[in-house]
Amino acid sequence: MTYRKLSHTVWECKYHIVFIPKYRKKVIYGNLRRKLGEIFHELARHKESVIEEGHLLPDHVHMLISIPPKYAVSNVVGYLKGKSAIYIAWELGNRRNATGHRFWARGYFVATVGRDEEMIRKYIQQQEEEDRRLEQMNLVPPEFVWSKIEVEHSGG
């Protein structure tokens, strides 16, 4: 356990945070995925926070983040989501209206991390593998299932 110091405080406040793009669309991949990782780390430093573990998946973000007690978790998460959304709007070409209001869904999941820190680190590290495994189990695309149901009901 590593303690950090402020002028009159010794602390260790870590959180497991998860948030998603609006409508949980699978949009985090390629160059955007690589750049978002860098941006999240830089934005966290602006709030004297450290992302200790993180993983960007196509439809959600996991991070283990250390946040000083002088900041509210909601303020730091709002800052990360808001500023990264502005960057995304800028990079994706919507430069005239680069306010970033439409990329991330409202809200987030947060849990404090204590003795189970190592378990949470492993969970975050294994997320991509687990998502890939779940996608492979669903071999038939949902569009095929729905079109087949419509054909059967229409007497085809």
Nearest residue to 89 (alpha-carbon basis) of 39, 54, 24: 39
Nearest residue to 91 (alpha-carbon basis) of 81, 80, 100: 100
Nearest residue to 112 (alpha-carbon basis) of 11, 5, 6, 8: 11
CA 83 centroid distance within chain: 14
Nearest residue to 73 (alpha-carbon basis) of 39, 100, 113, 36: 113
Which residue reads 């495994």 in tokens?
Answer: 133
Residues marked active site are found at: 123
